[in-house]
Amino acid sequence: MDTLTIELERLPSCLSKNGRRRSHWRTQRAATEKLKDDATFLVLKAISEAPNPLEEPFDKADIHVHQSWSNTPLDYDGLASAVAPVIDAFTITGVISDDSPRIINSYTLTANKVPKQSQNLVRVTVRRSESDG
């Protein structure tokens, strides 16, 4: 397995950069733990459904986060903040050994507008990378 992708319908607004300023730390902590648990489940499901098993963590990886939005998107620093627990799920499940720059070669964020709110999603892809960046 060289690529693993999960999709989430939404991220908690209290985990965005601005949301962290406005919300209580207990609210943020609960949202972080729930998002991490949900993402861990999705990563484990994706691993189990993959045609090739994950034999060891990716030595080097590229991470791509894509946001499809209909009303108001998170700005890129807010998106990076909100998706951090999802990246942690890839570490918890052993897809990557760490989320530090020693392992992550590139971390990209993209977004597109969609016509309907039901099409909102955040897609996180972790791809094995051969380069050392």
DSSP-derived pairing of the beta strands 104-113 and 121-128: unpaired
First to last CA, the chain: 21
Give the pLDDT mean for 7-16. Answer: 89
**pLDDT bucket at 131, cuts 50 / 70 / 90:** low
pLDDT band (50, 70, 90) for residue 17: confident
Q: Rounded mean pLDDT of the chain? A: 91
Q: Is the pLDDT of residue 119 over 50?
A: yes
Q: Are 24 and 85 in contact (CB under 8 A)?
A: no
CATH class of the domain at 3-128: alpha beta
Report the pLDDT value the prediction gives residue 115, as an integer from 0 to 100: 94
